[in-house]
Structure 1
Amino acid sequence: MKSLALSLMAALLVSTASAEPTATGDLGLVIERANGSVLLVDQSERAALARIEGLGDLSHASLVYSPDERFAYVFGRDGGLTKVDIVTRSIANRVVQAGNAIGGAISDDGKLVAVSNYEPGGVRVFDADTLEMVLDIPTGSKTIGLVDAPGRKFVFTMWDTGETWIADMSGAEPEITKIPDMGENPYDALITSNGRTYITGLFGEDGLTALDLWDENPQPIRVLPNYGRGQQEMPVYKMPHLEGWALTGPEFVLPAVGHHEVLWVDANTLAETARTKTYGQPVFAMARPDGRQVWVNFAHPLNDTIQVIDTVSKDIIHEFKPGPAVLHMEFTPRGHEIWISVRDAGKVMIYDTHTFEKLREIDADSPSGIFFTARAHKTGL
């Protein structure tokens, strides 16, 4: 009996020793918007590893990662919340929680996942392990700009009413703080990496509105009011994504809604410091992790082009055309490469950020958002 036990233990040790370990820190997912799938990619190999299907309508989709980088929570346009296991390369769980969703967030402890909804509106919060709903927060409005904040909080804003709500989930019962007068038709929002400043962009008027979340009683702070006054209004072909706005050292770099320029704003005083004219209407203005460059893509019909801005001179130092319908960009964690989704070419293209050399292309079905697992350790992403 003893020898049998020793034999079983030895077999187990051999099996464990020979098992292939799975490291997730070098991985990422690419949204394939046309077919409801995500593509698992490897940064170092610059290669696709697997396609995971069955995620519903991903025509406007985003995702967040669990703290251990194993699970991705994908928020689909059809209200689907899908938990993807990137180790087993499969769907771990899926619920359709609303009729029309617009993104989500994960709490700083990784225990709760929140989804922002257009239909029926409001925010719903789910257990990250089981995807069972733990809280429904009706708002009477489409909700936008949902982000996580330190202390197990979620912050989100109402398109219809111009309010921002803070849901504190740290206690036995949730506490909701409502902040009115954020402005007309807020369309998206961001939170700084330290969790202090929450900024909403306004569609119904020029300017933005900020909140200092370190204040015990946060009040709206108007930023760049009437920045477009005196200029000819232009059609807005695509709204900028605020989570793609850049913080480069002491300044924000913000796409100007309806104008061919980016705006530079002092991060402390929130006063405008400069403007850079651009090729088209910016959608994403994304800072390389070291803050030295900002890469900008543009709305239709000028969405085949990328410009690179030097953050010291604020001049455009490089311009190129990866292909038709550049939708999203993602830097590797230290910024030596950038991955770019070119939807209508069916490619993810990889470039060196110092030489601007194209390093590789990866085939993908209508690629849009690119999300590396390093996002698991950043507030607001």
Structure 2
Amino acid sequence: MKSVILAALVALAWVPAWAGDDTAKLYTETCAACHGADRLGAIGPALLPENLGRLKPAEAEKVIAEGRAATQMEGFKDRLSPDQIKALAAYVYQPLAKVPDWGMEQIKASHHMVTPLADLPAKPPFSSDPLNLFTVVEGGDHHVSIVDGDRLEVLYRFPSRFALHGGAKYSPDGRFVYFASRDGWVSKVDMWTGRLIAEIRAGINTRNVAVSDDGRFLMVGNVLPHSLVALDARDLSPLQVIPVAGDGKTSRVSAVYTAPPRHSFVVALRDLEEIWEFPYADDAGPVLNGLVHSREKGMEEGVSTGGRFQALRIRIPDFMDDFFFDPTYERVMGASRDGSKGMVVDLDLKRKVADLDLSGMPHLGSGIVFKKDGKWLMATPHLKDSAVSIIDMESWKTVKRLSTLGPGFFMRGHENTPFAWVDVSMGKEKDALQIIDTRTLEIAHTIRPAPGRLTRHVEFSRDGKYAVVSLSEKDGAILILDSATFAEIKRLPMSAPIGKYNVWNKISYSSGTSH
């Protein structure tokens, strides 16, 4: 949030002297029809600092002047002066004096069903394995491609909401994929046909979405407003809005994930030193009303507001910005907001049970696990340090810290390969991929499949035969490599591909992919 506020202040520093009411009027005349008079979005995305965190002010000016390809955003350089364009860009980086409510009434009003489920085919209209499909989010022109993992070609390509979160989520049978955009839109798409089933706007700024292991529910975590929203997975109709609050203050959501063996959603919070768990199984039993103190001082569990989804609240000694489950889903590894340390929280004991030596802002959400000498090890890249940390999941000690060519963002492995792949895309050598031999815990290979270009985010085919890599530039591609020889087999042109996920790896909770 500090970076967002700083960006807003920087933006305000270069607002022309004549700006103010004139700029608000200019916004109303030029932008409100698509982006909403309140800047909360309409047919165009929301224009708030929280939603524009990835877009620099200079880039925003360029979009206003030249428009955005493959969208309805037109350019205004022939109608607005350079000063007017600069003032408009600064205006949308100013925080609202008061964020309007986005509760059940507004959520219900946004819901629409596009394709009835009865209209969908009973069998896949193709011969390939439907569980070996990939979903690729293309950030360059806001599209999604569904890729056939057998024939290595694009089956469908369709437009998406602005700024989708890269982490697509699937129904347990792999038939449907769910997307969440940064400005709160949740979409359900049929993997077999590429058809949009339903959409709903669950928030103003959304962190991510999780799908229950029984396929009945979605849980949406929001940054604005401070809420969680439960949806019916069948048609995305809203079931419950859960305010995220405690101890007299509210909190943004850091992340929400599903814990399949527990039949629950687990939520990390940015502004409360708590983890929330929501059991959703029909036989989960009632949650006791009120707070129940555990044996560990300062740890307690309680409930959210009334409704089907009630939260078990676990007190922790620090804020948790990201987390990762152990293979049993009984414990979560969490990274602190400043990235200087980490902790392990036992969801059954309801307390912290270990500290982690994890400086350099680990990206736990993209970590992987694998077995070595009968022990589960977890490996994670770091966003600020040129390293990969490998942790023993029994002792919680860091058994190895491998030096890499730069900070990395994504890491992937697969049960059918001894290699774990990590990018170093956060550093200068953005074109390199480093491949770790999980048998020796050493970097065995460094490859540059697209020299000089941004290369990241590896995902494997269902059988682990292919490693699919993103060339994440506007005129980019996904590169399909042999996972044993690292030779390129094929490349499919894409526009800045970011997240991409194989259906089988996600629904089977592969140890080599994020969950």
TM-score band w.r.t. shorter chain: 0.7 to 0.9
Structure 1 residues 167 and 257: alpha-carbon distance in aligned structure 2, compared to 1, 3 A threshold: same
**1:43 shift after superposition:** 0.7
Structure 1 residues 258 and 22: alpha-carbon distance in aligned structure 2, compared to 1, 3 A threshold: closer
Q: Could you list the per-position Cα deviations for residues 45-75 of structure 1 after superposition, in whole angstroms to 9, with x for gaps in the alignment?
A: 111111021x212353321111221110111
Q: Select 1:343's aligned residue among 472, 486, 490.
A: 472
Structure 1 residues 61 and 102: alpha-carbon distance in aligned structure 2, compared to 1, 3 A threshold: farther
TM (norm. structure 1) is: 0.85
- C-alpha separation between the residues in 1 aligned to 2:398 and 2:433? 24
Structure 1 residues 20 and 294: alpha-carbon distance in aligned structure 2, compared to 1, 3 A threshold: closer
Is 1:147 the counterpart of 2:280 in the alignment?
no
- C-alpha separation between the residues in 2 aligned to 1:338 and 1:291? 10
- C-alpha separation between the residues in 2 aligned to 1:65 and 1:40? 13
- Who is 1:163 aligned against? 274
- C-alpha separation between the residues in 1 aligned to 2:356 and 2:154? 42
TM (norm. structure 2) is: 0.64
Q: Could you list the per-position Cα deviations for residues 315-349 of structure 1 after superposition, in whole angstroms to 9, with x for gaps in the alignment?
A: 21111223322242111123221101111141000
Equivalent AA in structure 1 for residue 498 of structure 2? S
Structure 1 residues 36 and 220: alpha-carbon distance in aligned structure 2, compared to 1, 3 A threshold: same
Conserved 8 A contact 1:118-1:143: yes
Structure 1 residues 121 and 241: alpha-carbon distance in aligned structure 2, compared to 1, 3 A threshold: farther
- C-alpha separation between the residues in 2 aligned to 1:33 and 1:46? 21
Is 1:133 the counterpart of 2:264 in the alignment?
no
**1:286 shift after superposition:** 2.0
Is 1:284 the counterpart of 2:418 in the alignment?
no
Equivalent AA in structure 1 for residue 338 of structure 2? G
Judging by fraction of residues, say which structure has more helix.
2
Conserved 8 A contact 1:294-1:308: yes
Q: Select 2:463's aligned residue among 331, 334, 344.
A: 334
Conserved 8 A contact 2:131-2:462: no
- C-alpha separation between the residues in 2 aligned to 1:211 and 1:60? 26
- Who is 1:218 aligned against? 350
- C-alpha separation between the residues in 1 aligned to 2:444 and 2:334? 29
Q: Select 2:423's aligned residue among 294, 297, 310.
A: 297
Is 1:247 the counterpart of 2:381 in the alignment?
no
Is 1:322 the counterpart of 2:427 in the alignment?
no
Equivalent AA in structure 2 for residue 38 of structure 1? V
- Who is 2:498 aligned against? 368
Query: Would you identify which runs of 4 or more consecutive aligned residues in structure 1 move more than 3 Å?
Result: 19-23
- C-alpha separation between the residues in 2 aligned to 1:182 and 1:57? 36
- Which stretch of the first structure deviates more once superposed, 165-174 or 313-322? 165-174
- C-alpha separation between the residues in 2 aligned to 1:300 and 1:153? 37
Structure 1 residues 77 and 310: alpha-carbon distance in aligned structure 2, compared to 1, 3 A threshold: same
**1:112 shift after superposition:** 0.4
- C-alpha separation between the residues in 2 aligned to 1:267 and 1:132? 39
- Who is 2:223 aligned against? 118
Conserved 8 A contact 1:342-1:367: yes
- Which stretch of the first structure deviates more once superposed, 35-44 or 172-181? 172-181
Equivalent AA in structure 2 for residue 321 of structure 1? R
Structure 1 residues 326 and 366: alpha-carbon distance in aligned structure 2, compared to 1, 3 A threshold: same
**1:288 shift after superposition:** 2.7
Equivalent AA in structure 1 for residue 421 of structure 2? W
- Who is 1:60 aligned against? 165
Structure 1 residues 256 and 240: alpha-carbon distance in aligned structure 2, compared to 1, 3 A threshold: closer
- C-alpha separation between the residues in 2 aligned to 1:372 and 1:113? 20
Structure 1 residues 51 and 20: alpha-carbon distance in aligned structure 2, compared to 1, 3 A threshold: closer
- Who is 1:231 aligned against? none
Q: Select 2:336's aligned residue among 172, 184, 202.
A: 202
- C-alpha separation between the residues in 2 aligned to 1:372 and 1:366? 18
- Which stretch of the first structure deviates more once superposed, 94-103 or 291-300? 291-300
Larger RCO (CA within 8 A; separation ≥ 6): 1
3-state SS, counterpart of residue 243 of structure 1: helix
The unaligned stretches of length 5 or more in structure 1 are 1-15, 229-235
**1:360 shift after superposition:** 0.7
Structure 1 residues 134 and 309: alpha-carbon distance in aligned structure 2, compared to 1, 3 A threshold: same
- C-alpha separation between the residues in 2 aligned to 1:303 and 1:180? 39
- Who is 2:323 aligned against? 189
Q: Could you list the per-position Cα deviations for residues 264-315 of structure 1 after superposition, in whole angstroms to 9, with x for gaps in the alignment?
A: 1111121111111111012122223246221111214432211001112222
Conserved 8 A contact 2:218-2:232: yes
Q: Select 1:45's aligned residue among 146, 151, 173.
A: 151
Bigger Rg, structure 1 or 2: 2
Equivalent AA in structure 2 for residue 338 of structure 1? A
Conserved 8 A contact 2:433-2:456: no
- Which stretch of the first structure deviates more once superposed, 267-276 or 371-380? 371-380
**1:22 shift after superposition:** 7.5
Conserved 8 A contact 1:26-1:42: yes
Structure 1 residues 98 and 189: alpha-carbon distance in aligned structure 2, compared to 1, 3 A threshold: same
Equivalent AA in structure 1 for residue 389 of structure 2? L
Equivalent AA in structure 2 for residue 364 of structure 1? M
- C-alpha separation between the residues in 2 aligned to 1:192 and 1:154? 15
- C-alpha separation between the residues in 1 aligned to 2:483 and 2:126? 33
Equivalent AA in structure 1 for residue 226 of structure 2? G
- C-alpha separation between the residues in 2 aligned to 1:347 and 1:160? 38
- C-alpha separation between the residues in 1 aligned to 2:151 and 2:175? 19
Q: Could you list the per-position Cα deviations for residues 61-115 of structure 1 after superposition, in whole angstroms to 9, with x for gaps in the alignment?
A: 3211112211101111121100011222111111111111121111110100111
- C-alpha separation between the residues in 1 aligned to 2:355 and 2:449? 34
**1:160 shift after superposition:** 1.5
Structure 1 residues 147 and 96: alpha-carbon distance in aligned structure 2, compared to 1, 3 A threshold: same
Conserved 8 A contact 1:147-1:191: no
Conserved 8 A contact 1:261-1:277: yes
Is 1:377 the counterpart of 2:487 in the alignment?
no
Structure 1 residues 142 and 326: alpha-carbon distance in aligned structure 2, compared to 1, 3 A threshold: farther
3-state SS, counterpart of residue 25 of structure 1: helix
Conserved 8 A contact 2:363-2:382: no
The unaligned stretches of length 5 or more in structure 2 are 1-121, 245-249, 287-307
Judging by fraction of residues, say which structure has more strand.
1
Q: Could you list the per-position Cα deviations for residues 144-180 of structure 1 after superposition, in whole angstroms to 9, with x for gaps in the alignment?
A: 2311013431001111223111111224733311112
